[in-house]
């Protein structure tokens, strides 16, 4: 079963298809952020894992106001892109990229930045290379539009995603312990990846 990566147009239908892929994952460990200054007076962020006493399943699509089918109603997605991962014509994953979207805080009004807004792989296809292929295709998509940076938001409860982004060459560039008032135990983590042209 070979993997096929396809660039797609963002439409309500393609967002709905993307949303059929589960984003749910088991939270069995959390990451604590630590600040350290190195000898060049730079601040370095490090992550330390701690087990969760009672693992649970996290599914961002069931959070009120979230999920792919809602994004087109909230944001101007005319500059957004989608990439699908297929095995035997079956969609097994996808990535959604946001670019030049004025009201999207993650982009900060910058035109040299693409947000990897959502990357998901079906649970039974995780660990098979689909996520890596999607990430690499997302980099190409962003570079083709003149972006110099890729930015990704995740949370400290998604240790697997953080490990993946680090493996893909991303650097933890910021965090916000109070970003989610309704989820006070979760910390927003912001990952950055410089793009080569």
Which domains, and CATH codes, for the chain?
A: 3-194 (3.40.630.30)
Q: Is residue 78's pLDDT more than 90?
A: yes
- d(CA 99, CA 47) in angstroms, rounded, equals 28
Reported pTM: 0.93
Q: Is residue 171's pLDDT more than 90?
A: yes
Cα 156 from chain centroid (whole Å): 13
pLDDT at 98: 98
> Mean per-residue pLDDT for 137-162?
97
Q: Is residue 38's pLDDT more than 80?
A: no
pLDDT at 41: 64
Give the model's confidence band at 106: pLDDT under 50 very low, under 70 low, under 90 confident, else very high: very high
Q: Residue 137 gets which letter from DSSP?
A: H
Of 22-31, 39-48, 112-121, the least confident: 39-48
How many helices (H) does the chain have, and how many strands (E)? 4, 9
Question: Where do we find the tokens 């963002």?
Answer: 10
Question: Where do we find the tokens 């309500």?
Answer: 12
At 119, list the tokens: 């990357």
């Amino acid at each position: 079963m070979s993997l096929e990566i396809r660039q797609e147009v963002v439409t309500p239908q393609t967002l709905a298809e993307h949303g059929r892929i589960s984003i749910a994952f088991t939270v069995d460990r959390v990451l604590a952020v630590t600040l350290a200054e190195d000898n060049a007076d730079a601040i370095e962020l490090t992550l330390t894992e701690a087990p969760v006493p009672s693992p649970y399943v996290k599914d961002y699509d069931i959070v009120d106001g979230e999920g792919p089918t809602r994004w087109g109603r909230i944001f101007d997605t005319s500059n957004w892109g989608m990439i699908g991962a297929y095995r035997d014509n079956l969609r097994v994953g996808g990535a959604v990229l946001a670019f030049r979207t004025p009201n999207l805080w993650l982009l900060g009004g910058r035109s040299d930045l693409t947000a990897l807004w959502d990357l998901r792989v079906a649970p039974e296809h995780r660990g098979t290379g689909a996520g890596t292929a999607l990430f690499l295709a997302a980099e190409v998509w962003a570079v083709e539009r003149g972006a110099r940076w890729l930015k990704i938001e995740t949370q400290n409860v998604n240790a697997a995603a953080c490990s993946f982004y680090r493996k893909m060459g991303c650097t933890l560039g910021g965090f916000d312990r109070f970003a989610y008032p309704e989820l006070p135990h979760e910390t927003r983590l912001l990952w950055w990846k410089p793009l080569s042209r």
